[in-house]
């Protein structure tokens, strides 16, 4: 009897204690699911967009869903990382930071107006005299929150592409909401504003005008706390992907791949110095010589990385260094598996025994498909420079001393005319082709050396009718796609076969690649005899 009473007492104590234990999130239907919203627009707009999602999830999951508002990304990340909320609707840059700090999990990417991507834009008033981004130095600029991809990070990247920073403006303001940025331009508090294209569209009828659009960025993302149960997260993901909005103005969802957000990580590293780049174990790294800006390169070559992933069964990730020197360093140190570079840099690294050429690029140069390319010497249309001799004693902007189309080819041409340009002119490195074109356009340099095809890219930045081609170089072998000498031989063979097997190069249109052909080792050797590898 005494033993029975003891058992009953223990059972009662256990039941009492159980009342004070937290219920499992995976099974408790009465435990609310909390979705934290971090609005870039007015709070009521974002809340209204997600209200139908809340009602849908409650029915689908048989669980109460609560919407909450965070007034900034920092607070949202802290609450999500510590498990105080289950989910958060995050800006791409905030997601990248949270993924690194707290190992947040991507659940689904937001789709707005049928698009899983969005753009950042720079706007002016409709009556402004500003037509292109190169005209905005010296004016006042309104940006958003410093953690915003669309109103801060991407605008700074666009400015960086043309060698502008915040010191080039008469005044810079940081406003917390993109609607406030738009209104501040309309009421003439600021001359130029930065925001998402979605927000800008609302104000175009009232007098705003877009002067520059960014490359596309992946949309905002729904992320889960690291503590969330895997089964619960999978069920939630399935529910979101199967959600069908009744109103076109509300959000829907698509699968989110973490690799999509690498372009944001690259911007964060280049602009803020914060390095959130991480590569999955076993990822194959493909280094790109930084011919253009990181955002442009990611847009150009992400489809190629996806193609190689499908064809080889290994995940390919792009590695985009800051400049030519960093590219040479990481390839020399064996930090990547494959490399895509100009023929001069290939010869330099090949001489050191670091690379083996697999295939040669076929590209439009500038319109005709060629296994070769050339450089040009560029001056302003109104320049007094009319011959190669006139370049002596002038200020010349080159891409880099390791650039083929932006220095080495022109150096060969000038040497053939008895001109040692490195001694007889003042050379400055611009690091990117766009920067060289801009320097000539602005009159900061008397002449510039760029790859001929780079003029097509520059049309989005300047009025190229104000520029003139003084001379063109000979054609030389196009860019080699190469493997690091210690990369697995079977993988190397698969990559080479995959590149040569491309029949429809439409997916490489952004990269201006029409395909690949056999390596041109004989022509590369001929080029080697003309250049000094240094």
For the residues of 353-395, what is the DSSP string, one character each?
T-EEEEEEEEEESSSSEESEE-EEEEEETT-S--SGGGGTT-E
What does the alpha-carbon distance between residue 158 and residue 293 come to, in Å, rounded to a whole number? 9
Query: What's the pLDDT score for residue 20?
Result: 38
Characterise 235 by phi-psi region: left (phi > 0), alpha (psi -120 to 50), beta (else).
Answer: alpha
In this structure, the number of other CB atoms found within 10 A of the CB of residue 52 comes to 15
Query: What's the pLDDT score for residue 178?
Result: 94
Which residues does the chain have with pLDDT short of 70? Answer: 1-30, 248-249, 533-534
Query: What's the pLDDT score for residue 29?
Result: 53
Going from the N-terminus, what domains does the chain have, and what CATH number goes with each? 33-116+219-261 (3.40.190.10), 120-215 (3.40.190.10), 280-369+478-530 (3.40.190.10), 375-474 (3.40.190.10)
Please classify residue 91 by burial: count the beta carbons closer than 10 Å to its beta carbon, then call 0-12 exposed, 13-18 middle and 19+ buried. buried
Query: What's the pLDDT score for residue 390?
Result: 97
Instruction: Please tell me the chain's helix, strand, coil percentages from 3-state DSSP, rounded to the nearest 5.
Output: 45, 25, 35
The dihedral over CA atoms of 293, 298, 300, 301, expressed in degrees to the nearest 10, equals: 130
Please classify residue 444 by burial: count the beta carbons closer than 10 Å to its beta carbon, then call 0-12 exposed, 13-18 middle and 19+ buried. middle
Angle of helix 343-351 relative to helix 324-332, nearest 10 degrees, comes to 30
Query: What's the pLDDT score for residue 248?
Result: 61
pTM, rounded to two decimals: 0.75
Query: What's the pLDDT score for residue 269?
Result: 86
Query: What's the pLDDT score for residue 3?
Result: 46
Query: What's the pLDDT score for residue 246?
Result: 80
Cα distance from N-terminal residue to C-terminal residue, the chain: 95
Query: What's the pLDDT score for residue 458?
Result: 75
């Amino acid at each position: 009897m005494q033993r029975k009473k003891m058992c009953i007492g223990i059972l009662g104590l256990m039941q009492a204690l159980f009342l004070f234990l937290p219920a499992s999130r995976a099974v408790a239907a009465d435990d609310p699911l909390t979705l934290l919203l971090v609005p870039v627009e007015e709070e009521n707009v974002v809340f209204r967009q997600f209200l139908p999602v809340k009602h849908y999830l409650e029915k689908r999951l048989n669980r109460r869903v609560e919407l909450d508002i965070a007034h900034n990304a920092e607070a949202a990340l802290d609450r999500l990382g510590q498990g105080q909320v289950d989910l958060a609707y995050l800006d791409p840059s905030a997601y990248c930071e949270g993924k690194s700090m707290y190992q947040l999990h991507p659940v689904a990417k937001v789709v707005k107006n049928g698009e899983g991507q969005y753009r950042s834009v720079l706007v002016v008033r409709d009556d402004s005299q500003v037509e292109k981004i190169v005209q905005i130095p010296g004016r006042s600029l309104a940006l958003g929150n410093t953690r915003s991809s669309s109103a801060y990070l991407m605008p700074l990247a666009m400015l960086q592409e043309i060698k502008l920073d915040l010191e080039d403006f008469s005044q810079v303001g940081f406003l917390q909401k993109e609607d406030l940025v738009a209104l501040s331009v309309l009421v003439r508090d600021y001359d130029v504003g930065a925001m998402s294209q979605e927000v800008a569209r609302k104000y175009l009828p009232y007098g705003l005008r877009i002067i520059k659009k960014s490359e596309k960025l992946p949309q905002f993302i729904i992320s889960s706390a690291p503590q969330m149960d895997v089964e619960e997260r999978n069920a939630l993901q399935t529910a979101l992907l199967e959600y069908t909005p009744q109103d076109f103005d509300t959000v829907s969802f698509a699968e989110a791949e973490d690799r999509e957000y690498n372009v944001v990580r690259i911007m964060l590293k280049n602009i803020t110095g914060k390095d959130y780049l991480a590569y999955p174990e076993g990822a194959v790294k493909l280094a790109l010589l930084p011919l253009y800006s990181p955002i442009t390169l990611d847009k150009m070559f992400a489809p190629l990385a996806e193609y190689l992933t499908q064809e080889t069964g290994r995940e390919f990730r792009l590695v985009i260094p800051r400049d030519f020197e960093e590219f040479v360093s990481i390839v020399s140190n064996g930090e990547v598996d494959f490399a895509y570079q100009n023929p001069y840099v290939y010869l330099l690294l090949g001489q050191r025994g670091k690379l083996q050429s697999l295939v040669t690029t076929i590209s439009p140069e500038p319109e005709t498909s060629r296994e070769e390319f050339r450089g040009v010497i560029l001056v302003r249309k109104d320049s007094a420079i009319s011959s190669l001799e006139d370049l002596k004693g002038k200020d010349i902007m080159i891409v880099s001393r390791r650039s083929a189309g932006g220095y080495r080819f022109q150096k060969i041409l000038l040497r053939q005319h008895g001109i040692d340009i490195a001694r007889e002119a003042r050379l400055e490195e611009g690091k990117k082709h766009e920067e060289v074109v801009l320097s000539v356009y602005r009159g900061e340099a008397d002449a510039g050396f760029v790859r001929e095809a780079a003029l097509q890219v520059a049309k989005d930045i300047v009025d190229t009718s104000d520029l003139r081609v003084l001379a063109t170089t000979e054609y030389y072998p196009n860019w080699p796609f190469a493997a690091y000498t210690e990369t697995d031989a079977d993988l190397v063979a698969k990559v080479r076969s995959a590149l040569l097997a491309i029949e429809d190069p439409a997916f490489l249109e952004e990269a201006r690649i029409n395909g690949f052909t056999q390596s041109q080792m004989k022509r590369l050797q001929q080029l080697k005899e003309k250049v000094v590898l240094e």
